[in-house]
Structure 1
């Protein structure tokens, strides 16, 4: 779509682009095949993939937030520094990519505090944002928000207000809101249609559905809700040559590998069709 054909609302609104920095073998669905104790023995591909993303962003003059695992940052500190040098935000994805819903409050605090300390030491910047692996804050562990605030974070983007088999709070607010602790929660973007929330913030849906669907959803949120969207994806989603895990279930293989070869070109279109910035700047005064 040309610049002249874009609507005024699309030109005016800056949306938040976010990247969950983890490697292909660290995703929750593949956890049974890659125990954490063996991660150091698995060849990493995250550095190559993040560098590709940084190049795409630089070409478009776009900024983004990189929710980065502490585990990755410790092993690739120069990658974190390249993110900072590009003018992007470094935020936390926890240290070990363990689901918040699988941890005790004490273990969760230890994980996210360690990640924050590691990232701040490497980046030389204050880390204010956090995203739980697999959006694993739900109705059963809402205490996690208080723990995130206790660890010193200013905002969280850990709730997806949709119905999903692994995550989601369908009745949660669709747009940023303040919690009693003072923490701001920035839900991943949904579109309201036919009395329910539909995923509109990226991830596997961005690969599964035609690009036109994502573009229509984001444009509708910008135009009708007059709100910026928050969109996410992973570095492994631009890596069609990553090793395949044949032992994974058919459902897991489909979700993880569908349309990997198309993601890079779809991201190029997305970067051209909308304006993109860092989550901490886009939502600074949102709640």
Structure 2
């Protein structure tokens, strides 16, 4: 039975804390590139994630932002220093699975193995419990809700894997817009990416390509509207490759994939700087699990 989670309440005199999140993966691992880039070629490709993470961690340190980093096991295994820097800077380390396989493309047994191996690897390197998970491409929905049970059995406390929007690659528009328990309060907490409701439809308002495509003022207005009118934290996400306009550009990409990946990528870092100034931010676990 679906139950909405209690709304996080800010301390007296404080602004609502919003959740800043980053999906730690490299440019060649995005789902939109899967038809064009063979997974077997990943180890031979130029990796940019370490330098991009240094820029992001520096930006967050300058602005006093604490965030949650949903990190691929594939990245952690090859760049353990990135994981250690995340933890040392006071951020939350969370799981993005091991190899960026969509949950919807895995059997239940394959998914269980993926989330458990990634959790164990991240905890071994980071030295802290991994409580959160985000499925690649928000690939948990009405057809594979069993994945939430597997996450709970594997020791996760929350997921951020169901996006309540209509999209050609993902989405469960009938899902609640704010944090909820899909199977009751003794189950896993699901925390959707932020949307605003206009004319009866949920519109994306929490990052990704939409944030790069839309004017910054509109994105800021939508997140502020959620804080002001819904009284809820906004949940924002982005990727390290989005702050890297100099990344390699693979040949043969389809027009849609190329547009989605590269639109306004040269403006992204400045926009995140603006977000850091315009809103109060914190880690997912601090906001939604009532951690100090």
State the Cα deviation string for residues 210-260 of structure 1 (Å, max 9, x = none): 101110000000000001011000000000001112311001100000000
2:150 to 140, 147, 151: 147
Partner of 1:213 in structure 2?
218
Structure 2 CA distance for aligned equivalents of residues 159 and 182 of structure 1: 15
2:209 to 195, 204, 229: 204
**More helix by proportion, 1 or 2?**
1
Partner of 1:256 in structure 2?
261
In the alignment, is residue 192 of structure 1 matched against residue 201 of structure 2? Answer: no
TM-score normalised by length of structure 2: 0.93
8 A Cα contact 1:67 1:131, kept in partner: yes
Structure 2 CA distance for aligned equivalents of residues 161 and 11 of structure 1: 29
Structure 2 CA distance for aligned equivalents of residues 86 and 210 of structure 1: 31
Return 277-286 or 177-186, whichever deviates more: 277-286
* Residue 179 of structure 1: how far off its partner (Å): 2.8
1:252/1:10 Cα in 2 relative to 1: closer, same or farther (>3 Å)? Answer: farther
Unpaired runs of 5+ residues, structure 1, are: 1-8
In the alignment, is residue 136 of structure 1 matched against residue 139 of structure 2? Answer: yes
* Residue 139 of structure 1: how far off its partner (Å): 1.1
Q: Aligned-pair RMSD on alpha carbons?
A: 1.6
2:161 to 158, 161, 169: 158
Structure 2 CA distance for aligned equivalents of residues 221 and 283 of structure 1: 16
Partner of 1:233 in structure 2?
238
Partner of 1:281 in structure 2?
286
State the Cα deviation string for residues 187-232 of structure 1 (Å, max 9, x = none): 1110011111110110000101110111000000000000101100
Q: Please identify runs of 4+ aligned residues in structure 1 that moved more than 4 A.
A: none
Structure 2 CA distance for aligned equivalents of residues 120 and 138 of structure 1: 27
Structure 1 CA distance for aligned equivalents of residues 287 and 205 of structure 2: 17
Structure 1 CA distance for aligned equivalents of residues 264 and 206 of structure 2: 17
SS in structure 1 at match of 2:99: coil
TM-score normalised by length of structure 1: 0.95
8 A Cα contact 1:71 1:96, kept in partner: yes
* Residue 168 of structure 1: how far off its partner (Å): 0.5
Partner of 1:117 in structure 2?
120
* Residue 57 of structure 1: how far off its partner (Å): 0.2
8 A Cα contact 1:11 1:274, kept in partner: no
* Residue 70 of structure 1: how far off its partner (Å): 0.2
Partner of 1:14 in structure 2?
17
* Residue 10 of structure 1: how far off its partner (Å): 11
Unpaired runs of 5+ residues, structure 2, are: 1-11
State the Cα deviation string for residues 80-133 of structure 1 (Å, max 9, x = none): 000001000000000000000000000000011000000000000000000000
State the Cα deviation string for residues 154-197 of structure 1 (Å, max 9, x = none): 00000110001110100100111113261000011100111111
Partner of 2:76 in structure 1?
73
In the alignment, is residue 224 of structure 1 matched against residue 229 of structure 2? Answer: yes
* Residue 35 of structure 1: how far off its partner (Å): 1.9
Partner of 1:35 in structure 2?
38
Structure 2 CA distance for aligned equivalents of residues 284 and 223 of structure 1: 22
Partner of 2:129 in structure 1?
126
